[in-house]
Chains A and B, each alone.
Chain A
Amino acid sequence: MTSHDKISRREFFARTAKAGLSVAAVAGAAKLLYETDVTKMFSTSDSIKGLKDFSVSPISGQTMAVVTSANRTASVSKAIELLGGIDRFVKPGEKVLIKPNIGFSRPPRICATSHPDIISEITRLCYEHAKAKKVYITDNPINDPISCFEISQIAAAAEKSGAEIILPKKNLFKPVTLEGGKLIHNWPFLYEPIAGVDKVIGVAIVKDHARSGASMTMKNWYGLLGGGRNMFHTNINTIITELATLIKPTLVILDATEIMVSNGPTGGSTSDLKRTNMMIASCDQLAADSFGASLLDFKPEQLPYLVKAQELKIGTTDYQSLKPIFANMEG
Chain B
Amino acid sequence: MPTSRKQSIVSFFVIIVLISIAVAIGIKQQRYSTEDTVLKTNLFIEKLIPTTDIENYSPSNLYEKIDGKADLYLNNGFVSLQWRRYADTSTPDNWAEIYLFELGNPENAFAVYSMQRRTESSPLDWAQFGYATSDAIYAAAGKYYIEAPISSDDSALLNTASAAVKNLISSLSAGKAEIPYINLFPKENLQTQTFKFISADAFGSDLKNVFAADYKINEKTITAYITKDATGEIFDSYSKFLTDNGGTELKIDSKIPQCKAVDLFGTTEIVFRSGQYFAGVRGTAPINDFKQTAEKLFESLSKQK
Contacts and interface: CB of A to CB of B under 8 A. Distances in A.
Interface residues of B, number: 26
A47 interface: no
Interface in B101-139: 116, 118-121, 133-136
B69 A265 contact: yes
Interface stretch (A62-70, A171-179, A186-194, A206-214): A206-214
A202 B135 CA distance: 29
A266 interface: yes
Contact of B118 (A142, A215, A266, A271): A271
Given A142-B64, A233-B63, A272 B69 contact: no
Main secondary structure of the interface of A (DSSP, over half): loop
A142 B65 contact: yes
Contacts of A40: none
B231 interface: no
A44 interface: no
Contacts of B119: 271
Interface stretch (A101-109, A116-124, A284-292): A101-109
Interface of B: 4, 6, 63-72, 116, 118-121, 133-136, 147, 149, 151-153
A147 to B, nearest CB: 8
Nearest to A215: B68
A9 B6 contact: yes
Contacts of A328: none
A264 B133 contact: no
Nearest to B63: A230
Contact of B69 (A143, A210, A270): A210
A233 B6 contact: no
Nearest to B118: A271
Contacts of A104: 66-67
B65 A143 contact: yes
Nearest to B4: A9
B121 A109 contact: no
A304 interface: no
A224 B133 CA distance: 33
A212 B63 CA distance: 15
Nearest to B64: A142
Contact of A269 (B69, B72, B149): B149
A158 to B, nearest CB: 19
B134 A107 contact: no
Nearest to B10: A13
Interface string A253-277: 0000000001111101111100000
A230 B151 contact: no
A109 B149 CA distance: 12
Contacts of B66: 104, 142, 266
B67 A270 contact: no
Interface string A216-260: 000000000000001001001000000000000000000000000
Contacts of A230: 63-64, 67, 70
Contact of A270 (B4, B64, B72, B134): B134
Given A9-B6, A230-B63, A233-B63, A268 B136 contact: yes
A264 B69 CA distance: 7
Given A9-B6, A109-B152, A210-B71, A269 B133 contact: yes
Interface in A1-55: 9
